[in-house]
Amino acid sequence: MKLQIINGPNLNLLGTREKDIYGGQNFEVYLKKLKSKFKNVDLNYFQSNIEGELIDKIHDVGFDFDGIIINAAAYTHTSVGLGDAIRSIPIPVIEVHISNTYSREEFRHKSFLSAHVKGIVMGFGLMSYDLAISSFTETISE
Ligand code: DQA
């Protein structure tokens, strides 16, 4: 199974950025753990701080891979373009957040992605990604 993880703006700073909210772990280190846990999954990772590059990646993999796990970070709350990109592809997309955005500022309660995704995992720290991947592997093996 081929899955694409897409991380949006400022998530390249995980491990150093607002550790009280996002934890002290760097994503590349966590990704190694994910790859060793999900040995049968071809896990691909892309991060960008640029909205158009995130949209391009959705187009690139969205007709070919088995699924996308996306944390669009701040663009979640602003980007009609990312929502439209998700609507435009046939493969399932899972929206992920490290924090529970509903327990935070009101502007984080709105997502332009949520209406177009298969499911949402949030609030479990980096484990949110693990749970999202499991949702694909468990569904397939049912
Ligand atoms: C985030 C939540 C967003 O509100 C925020 O802008 C982020 C990270 C999360 O993973 O909790 O950058 O998507």
Residue 125 in any domain: the answer is: yes
Ligand 1 atom with the shortest distance to the CA of 96:
10
pTM of the prediction? Answer: 0.96
Q: Print the domain residue range for 79.
A: 9-48+70-141
127 lines ligand 1 (CB under 6 A): no
Residue 20 in any domain: the answer is: yes
Residue 64 in any domain: the answer is: no
Burial group, residue 115, by CB count within 10 angstroms (0-12, 13-18, 19+): exposed
Tens-digit pLDDT profile for the chain (142 aa)? 999 999 999 999 999 999 989 988 999 999 999 999 999 999 999 999 999 999 999 999 999 999 999 999 999 999 999 999 999 999 999 999 999 999 999 999 999 999 999 999 999 999 999 999 999 998 654 4
Rounded (10°) angle between helices 51-61 and 80-87: 0
Residue 3 in any domain: the answer is: no
Ligand 1 atom with the shortest distance to the CA of 8:
12
